[in-house]
Amino acid sequence: MARPGLIHSAPGLPDTCALLQPPAASAAAAPSMSGPDVETPSAIQICRIMRPDDANVAGNVHGGTILKMIEEAGAIISTRHCNSQNGRCVAALARVERTDFLSPMCIGEVAHVSAEITYTSKHSVEVQVNVMSENILTGAKKLTNKATLWYVPLSLKNVDKVLEVPPVVYSRQEQEEEGRKRYEAQKLERMETKWRNGDIVQPVLNPEPNTVSYSQSSLIHLVGPSDCTLHGFVHGGVTMKLMDEVAGIVAARHCKTNIVTASVDAINFHDKIRKGCVITISGRMTFTSNKSMEIEVLVDADPVVDSSQKRYRAASAFFTYVSLSQEGRSLPVPQLVPETEDEKKRFEEGKGRYLQMKAKRQGHAEPQP
């Protein structure tokens, strides 16, 4: 594919977002992502230089900032595609598959966030996103993140109504079959998360070190206009950034060292969060291995301006963090001490997820603890 052409950028240094799309020649060569009468880009790229206010306490780019940029790119391309035929809608984030943080991004580097539509069902769009960092002094580039996101188109007249998605044209039949398998798998996993939606994080007085209660944390946030789309509900990227902040606090409280995001398991968005809601983002440790920590993060929304609605679960996910020394070397993690039966059950579930992912990475069917 030819290199995308710049269609919007600020003069001087690339210190604002630059939105890229393929020029007419390359777009014609690529598979069409829309109906016969309308062309939409098969891929886009957002570029932005990383500034000091994007940094975490260690000086690298905050994991939540990267998640927010990933969601922005996905929202742009999926909304464009969904509006390519019949109408006026906005694409809302429904799910983010597992995202690994392969390499840290530093302040002063340029982030290149590329998004491409890879599958469409009747009511959803799958978007693949890659993140590259570029050192503009040396020209060195490296892959930092890969993610898969699922969006659903919501009507502008009624944001509770899900519209149909224009079909995508595949270059080969296998692509559609592989995409359908991924769609069915994520749909099943989303259904399996609903049984946890009544789970809450309760505060405990004077907890012991290394227990779940000792590090659990919550953040309360009033949703304002700057958090929302033009249609009055929260950007998925804003929610993900807040979730990463809370998970980071839990991890730092547990090990008392510098911590960084290693990966994010599937983030499920169960319901929209509207402007004016008060959201509570709660995090608790669920599992520790020798060098990693799994933190469950739950997002609850309370529509305080609407007495007819009750508090509800809006999103949930598992974040994995690692502990680092001041020199950036991996440190052992203090082992979690589960106390209650529920905590022991969550610990075993977390251990199962850890072993499953370890087996996937190593290519072993039956890994050993």
d(CA 5, CA 2) in angstroms, rounded, equals 9
Residue 155 CB: number of other CB atoms within 10 A? Answer: 15
Q: Where are the beta strands (DSSP E) in 136-224?
A: 141-155, 217-222
Among residues 54, 60, 130, 244, which one is catalytic? 244
Backbone angles phi, psi at 247, to 5 degrees: -60, -40
> Does the annotation count 158 as an active-site position?
no
Q: State both tokens at 103.
A: 């390499």
Q: What's the angle, vertex CA 136, arms to CA 130 and CA 139, rounded to 5?
A: 75
Q: Do 116 and 147 meet the contact criterion of CB atoms below 8 Å apart?
A: no
Catalytic site residue from 56, 83, 130, 258: 56
Phi-psi region of 12 (alpha: psi -120 to 50; beta: other; left: phi over 0): left
Catalytic residue list contains 300: no
**Token duo for residue 150:** 């699922």
Q: What letter represents residue 83's amino acid?
A: N
| Positions marked active-site | 56, 244
